[in-house]
Structure 1
Amino acid sequence: MINPVLSSLLPVVLLVAIGFITGRAGWIRAEAIKDLSNLVFMVLTPALLFRTMSTVHVEQLNFKPVLMYFVAAMLLFGFVLIWQGGTRRAAVLALAATFSNTVMIGIPLVGLAYGQAGLVTLFTLISVHALMLLTFATVVLELAVAREKVAAGGGGGQHMLLTVLGAVRNGIIHPVPLPIIVGLLFAQTGQVMPAVVDRPLQLLGNAFGPVALVLVGVTLTAVRIGDHFKAALGLSLIKNLAFPALVALLCWGLGLSGLQLTVMIVTAALPIGANVFMFSQRYQVAEELVTASMAVSTGLGLVTLSLVMALASLL
């Protein structure tokens, strides 16, 4: 049987490699990267998020282990945000340190390693993963943007409360949080999505992972990883090792154990998710570093995930 870590990461590596080769061959020009990024961020991502959340019934989920996962994520996010200066760049790097590739890598890895019981725990986390982290990151980023405008003299007379309210509004009326919220609201009605609507959404959502990863590969053609390797390695070590260690410490300290604890730790150890790249593109900050970090984090994951899974089995 193929090692579950290897079988989960190889498709990701291959899709990134295909994008890299495509970019090198000139089949996708550098000028088209922004348009493709908009396609992913404005069309494919909302379709995936809305359809995923449209079937989630909150009352059926066990959120106890998930709660500690997000406590750890928020603590680490806050630490990186403050450490890096509270800017847009800091917010994107904080998201990179805490946002896991739960779908492309997490689902096949957990399914192969822990079976259906493990997937139930993972799906509980996935149901609110994007809602919690991406919505929080969006609000933080919009606040940073508003603060930068004030500092640049673009809104110096505006009351701080109005700035905060404007940032929160922009954080909700946004291609990421809005479809999550609308999807959740739809799910609570008990209605079933008509097939004529559900099928196109499914096709668009299925395209997100491959297109986003190919786009990462295309972007790598314009990035010299060597120039960012040290910073990318540091960020990858925080994501792949420090984050799961913090999750393990908090969960173990509260008496959580067994499969649910293991799945939370392994999920925290997953490489950086493609949504972080989309955010760096959207807010035009740290794009090269995030791209390099995703590549390093995924490659490093072949070793770190195996290590984390071995250590988690001892808890």
Structure 2
Amino acid sequence: MLAILLKTLPFFAVIGLGYAAGRTRFFSQEATAYLTRFVFYFALSAMLFGFSANLDVAAILSWPFVFAYLLATSTVWLVVAGVALARRTSAEEAVFEAHTGVIGNVGFLGIPMLALLLGPQAVGPVLLVLAVDLIVFSSILTMIITGLRAGRVSAQTFGILATGLAKNPMIVSVVLGIAWGATGLALPTPANEFLTLLGAAATPCALFAIGASLAGRSAERIEVAAWLSLAKLVLHPAAVAGACWLLGVTGYPAGVMIAAAALPVAGNVFILAQHYGVAPQRVSTAILLSTAASVLTVTAVIALLSQGGYI
């Protein structure tokens, strides 16, 4: 485990550096917002396009893989929602707690870290996980919240979903990359070098931005946030491992899926919580706690996967 910790530690060290810069106000909240925007719209999009343009979609698209992730994530989603309702929270709060318990930081942390730790062949499975999170579970969240507030799900709801997906640079860059790859044409050398140069900024800038954004969060509702962190860091990867066994997903793809499920709560969950005005402080604290704890939990999961011969 020590060897794995030494490999993962530099990633979390950059997060810690960003946290220190934000905490001391050397890096302001405005600067963090602009750095995050740069990563989201430029650096990470360049990285995803470059990866996607070189993917063999037919080779990576596995329906048992997708169904295993859907089954495991849906199960944890329902468990966390049920626990929230048992505490007599509102339906909207239960939905957001469930979303917090299953949506990991796959985009900003997972893609760059797992690609470097597990090899570039991890990108395909990680992108499948990201696609399910964005297309399925984010859509479910929007539909339920909109339906609860409007009393029904209308055609306008689906329009909102479609617009949101079309405006997401991660989705757009992956789709465009796959479309280019389908042509069979190699990227022109200047374009390829441009994407490589810009995409190389994604990993350090994304990790630094994660840390700087955490510096502005205060810890409240610790008990609930700790439970949500436990659900994300322990229950989710455990459920994914069980679903892989049940549906016969084995070897390297299963290992990558389990590692992706072990990632801490994604920052965009807080953005959605703020947007809808539902438990933003609770979600913020879960992001803070899960990211801090993931230094050990992600290391432990990857070490177990390595010992088991998955990765």
Q: TM-score, normalised by structure 2?
A: 0.76
1:281 to 271, 280, 284: 271
Contact 1:12 1:213 in 2 (8 A): yes
Task: Find the residue that maps to 1:3 and give its secondary structure.
Answer: helix
String of CA shifts for 1:243-266, please: whole Å, max 9, x gaps.
121112222223455555444434
CA gap of 1:40–1:232, structure 2 versus 1, over 3 A, is: farther
Contact 1:76 1:98 in 2 (8 A): no
The letter of the residue matching 1:214 is F
Question: CA–CA distance in 1 between the matches of 2:100 and 2:223?
Answer: 18
Once the two structures are TM-superposed, the CA of residue 125 in structure 1 deviates from its matched residue by: 0.5
Give the partner amino acid of 2:46: A
Matches of residues 197-276 of structure 1 in structure 2 within 5 Å?
197-225=191-219, 227-269=220-262, 271-272=263-264, 276=266
Q: How does 1:165-176 map to 2 (within 5 A)?
A: 165-175=158-168, 176=170
Distance 2:145 2:13 in 1: 35
Contact 1:92/1:279 (8 A) holds in 2: no
1:135 is the counterpart of 2:135:
yes
Aligned pair partner of 1:106 in 109, 114, 119: 114
Percent of paired sites with the same residue? 23
Distance 1:73 1:222, change over 3 A: same
Q: How does 1:148-163 map to 2 (within 5 A)?
A: 150=150, 160-163=153-156
Match status 1:297 vs 2:290: yes
Letter in 2 for 1:73: T
Unaligned runs of 5+ in 1: 112-118, 152-158
Secondary structure of 2:200's counterpart equals helix
CA distance in 2 between partners of 1:136 and 1:161 (Å): 18
Q: Corresponding residue for 1:123?
A: 123
CA distance in 1: counterparts of 2:10 and 2:231, whole angstroms: 23
Q: Measured at CA, do residues 21 and 89 of structure 1 come closer, stay the same or move farther in structure 2, by a change above 3 Å?
A: farther
Per the alignment, residue 25 of structure 2 pairs with 26
Q: 1:183 maps to what in 2? A: 177
Superposition TM-score, scaled by structure 1 size: 0.75
Of stretches 200-209 and 256-265 in structure 1, the one that deviates more from structure 2 is 256-265
Q: Decide whether the 8 Å contact of 2:225 with 2:289 is kept in 1.
A: yes
Deviates most, 291-300 or 231-240: 291-300
SS in 2 for 1:97: coil
Q: What is aligned with 1:6?
A: 6
Q: Which amino acid aligns with 2:76?
A: L
User: Partner amino acid for 1:272?
Assistant: P
Q: What does residue 41 of structure 1 align with?
A: 40
Q: d(CA) in 2 for partners of 1:82 and 1:201?
A: 44
Kept in 1: contact 2:111–2:123 (CA 8 A): no
Q: Is the 8 A contact 1:236 1:293 kept in 2?
A: yes
List per-residue Cα deviations over 1:250-283 (Å, max 9, x = no partner).
22223455555444434433x226xx21453377
What is the rounded CA distance, in whole Å, between the counterparts of 2:77 and 2:190 in structure 1? 40
Name the count of aligned residue pairs. Answer: 295
Change (3 A) 1:306 1:23: closer
Q: Relative to structure 1, is the Cα distance of residues 186 and 74 closer, same or farther in structure 2, using a 3 angstrom cutoff?
A: farther
1:94 aligns with 2:66: no
Corresponding residue for 1:114? none
Structure 2 SS opposite 1:216:
helix
Q: Deviations over 1:136-184 (max 9, x none)?
A: 3443455467558858xxxxxxx94421331232133122322222222
Match of 1:116 in 2: none
What does residue 58 of structure 1 align with? 57
Are the counterparts in 2 of residues 232 and 290 from structure 1 also a CA contact under 8 Å? yes
2:87 maps to what in 1?
Answer: none
Mapped partners of 1:245, 1:182: distance in 2: 33
Q: Tell me if structure 2 keeps the 8 A contact 1:232–1:292.
A: yes
Aligned-partner residue type, residue 139 of structure 1: S
Contact 2:80/2:231 (8 A) holds in 1: no
Change beyond 3 A, Cα 1:79–1:204: farther
Q: Is the 8 A contact 1:15 1:217 kept in 2?
A: yes
